[in-house]
Structure 1
């Protein structure tokens, strides 16, 4: 009788060991698949990040902040961010009553004001303007003088027509 108890105990122990082995190998395989999936997702994310970085570099190409040659024109001035300074000066032209004087159109819904500004280099700006319903773009030449005054000259303009 004692041998049968040991035999049943041995068989029971072997079944538990077999169950643990099969269960463990399945868990190991599942975790290996998860690791591979996560590695693929990481590679895709890294590729997407590289693509996004390249797009950002392309967008920043025409920007005063990234143009060392253009920034050398402002070395003698005590400006931390010449691009922001020029943009602020351009936005000050919006403070006048009525349409912005650089915009050659009369506002139809309200006054035309400059909204967005992109300082391209030490001489040129692209700006967006709107009256709330109609909008357009300006190409502006500017000159930042030694006394920190800025002269703006509208070079080209475009008003988008509304198509319904």
Structure 2
């Protein structure tokens, strides 16, 4: 009788061991597949991140911040951030009553005001303007003087038309 109990215990323990070995093997295979899937996702994300970084570098190509030759024009002025200073000076033109004086159009819904500004280098600015419904873009030449005053001259402009 004792012999049969040991035999049954041995068979039961062997079955438990076999179950654990098989389930552990399946779990290891599933984990390996999951790891491989995650590694593939990480590689895809690295590629996407690299493409985004290249796009950002390309977009920053025409900007004062990344143009050392253009920044050299402002070394003597003691400005921490010339782009911000120039943008602020241009936005001050919005404070005039009515349309912005640099916008050569009369606002149809409201007054035309400059919204977005891209300082390209030490001479040129791209700006977006809108009255809330209609919008356009400006190419502006500017000069930053030694007394930190700024002169803005409109070089070209366009107004988008709605096709409704």
TM-score for the superposition, normalised by structure 1: 0.98
How far the C-alpha of 1:2 sits from its partner, in A, is: 1.6
| Alpha-carbon distance between aligned partners in 2 of 1:32 and 1:65, rounded to the nearest angstrom | 47
The corresponding residue for 2:82 is 82
Q: Which moves more between the two structures, 1-10 or 100-109?
A: 1-10
How far the C-alpha of 1:43 sits from its partner, in A, is: 0.5
Structure-to-structure mapping, 1:14-163, within 5 angstroms: 14-163=14-163
Q: Which runs of 5+ in 1 are unaligned?
A: none
How far the C-alpha of 1:9 sits from its partner, in A, is: 1.1
The corresponding residue for 1:5 is 5
Equivalences, count: 164
| Alpha-carbon distance between aligned partners in 1 of 2:25 and 2:134, rounded to the nearest angstrom | 67
Q: Which runs of 5+ in 2 are unaligned?
A: none
Q: Deviations over 1:1-43 (max 9, x none)?
A: 2211111111111111101100110111111111011101100
How far the C-alpha of 1:162 sits from its partner, in A, is: 1.2
